[in-house]
Structure 1
Amino acid sequence: MRKKIGSAVIGLGVALLSVIATGSAQSHGYTTLPMSRQALCAKGTVTNCGDIQYEPQSVEGPKGFPAAGPADGTICAGGNSRFAQLDDPRSGQWPATKVTGGQSYSFTWTFTASHATTDFRYYLTNSSYDPTKPLTRANLNTTPFLIVPYNGTRPGTTAVHQGTIPSGKTGKQLIVAVWTIADTSNAFYSCADVQF
């Protein structure tokens, strides 16, 4: 009887450790201002999002963007096929945050786990961008309009980065925010549709 109880306790302990390890591996961060596609899915503003509605913080992919990182057409999902709904342009119908070129803006991330951070980089689409087609590097200005260095420090539960929305844009555009992790080979990706 004692052996059975001992085995059950060990089994429960292993199961609990697996759940804890899995939960922390899936917890990271995403942008909430401007509202990212994954945040819109998590809030239920956009439906038919698949797993991303439960894990908006988990869009993790290879770092080194734009020279490396996710393949064209998979940038918003971080190259993760499990979150492919984020790369679906939905005929250009993703809800967009209204912005004005030249305005000061508080770019905001929400985190569920903190990591040693290299930096945060923000990119904006160029004049070739078509919101009805999946995003490629050719549709982006590959020079970030905002870089926030962290030099290995960790953000708290939220981070707010003050920057300026680039001027000279019209219509619907896309901001790609990249959180580069210092001590892994990955980064987190967050795409936010904006309307100028």
Structure 2
Amino acid sequence: MRRKITSLLAGLGLVGAALLATSGTAQSHGYTDSPISRQQLCGIGTVKHCGQIQWEPPSVEGPKGFPTRGPADGHICSGGIGRFSELDDPRGGAWPATQVTAGQNYTFNWRIEARHATTDFRYYITKDGYDPTQPLTRADLEPQPFLTVPFGGKLPGSTVSHSGTLPQKSGKHLILGVWTISDTGNAFYACSDVQF
């Protein structure tokens, strides 16, 4: 009898460990692939020496409430997650940039690996005079998003696409995508370098 109880407890321990292991991977959630985000560039190997983000592109999750709350200045692209700090490194302004045209209608795409009830998707862009050789701060961004897509608490699909008009800009800029979750205290952050 004692052997059966011991075996049962050991089995339950293995099940618990398996649940913890799988819930750890379920922490992955989503990222932009159009325009391509820094985390995806690392994940597909286009950009090297990215640290842990190369294995976890959908995991850039930080506090929601941007811009009044959220990741600290200089740590926005990593969502404030230290192990993803390579995303905050401007690399001398050498991050590959998606070619875009000012005023064009552009389709933004997110790849969603774990669906969450969603408040909205918001897109911010850097101000004129932005220096791509410096880490991103709030002062670098226009104060209002140029596109907000309300979601009303609905669950997104495995991909989400929506269109908006790109602002009138020239030169190299950065678009910050923020996917705000409605039923947690977090949001997902994706920095995409673009060239107008």
Please report the TM-score for the alignment, with normalisation by the length of structure 2: 0.96
Output the CA distance in 2 between the equivalents of 1:115 and 1:170.
35
Which residue of the other structure, out of 5, 8, 13, is the alignment partner of 1:6? 8
Question: Please, what is the CA RMSD of the aligned residues?
Answer: 1.0
Match of 1:116 in 2: 117
Deviation at 1:79, TM superposition (A): 1.1
Output the CA distance in 1 between the equivalents of 2:103 and 2:130.
20
Question: Aligned partner of 2:38: which letter?
Answer: R
Match of 1:51 in 2: 52
Match of 2:189 in 1: 189
Match of 2:177 in 1: 177
Match of 1:71 in 2: 72
Pairwise mapping of residues 58-97 of structure 1 onto structure 2 (< 5 A)?
58-97=59-98
1:21 is paired with a residue of what secondary structure?
Answer: helix
Match of 1:22 in 2: 24
Percentage of identical aligned residues = 60
1:18 is paired with a residue of what secondary structure?
Answer: helix
Q: Deviations over 1:47-67 (max 9, x none)?
A: 111111111111011111111
Output the CA distance in 1 between the equivalents of 2:122 and 2:60.
15
Q: Deviations over 1:32-53 (max 9, x none)?
A: 0000000000000001111111
2:131 is paired with a residue of what secondary structure?
Answer: coil
Deviation at 1:7, TM superposition (A): 3.4
Please report the TM-score for the alignment, with normalisation by the length of structure 1: 0.96
Question: Aligned partner of 2:174: which letter?
Answer: L
Deviation at 1:128, TM superposition (A): 3.0
Question: Aligned partner of 1:194: which letter?
Answer: V
Output the CA distance in 1 between the equivalents of 2:108 and 2:59.
19
Pairwise mapping of residues 127-146 of structure 1 onto structure 2 (< 5 A)?
127-146=128-147
Output the CA distance in 2 between the equivalents of 1:89 and 1:4.
55
1:141 is paired with a residue of what secondary structure?
Answer: coil
Output the CA distance in 1 between the equivalents of 2:66 and 2:154.
20
Q: Number of residues paired by the alignment?
A: 194
2:57 is paired with a residue of what secondary structure?
Answer: coil
Output the CA distance in 2 between the equivalents of 1:96 and 1:33.
11
User: 4+ residue runs of structure 1 moved beyond 4 angstroms?
Assistant: none
Question: Aligned partner of 1:189: which letter?
Answer: Y
1:45 is paired with a residue of what secondary structure?
Answer: coil
1:120 is paired with a residue of what secondary structure?
Answer: strand
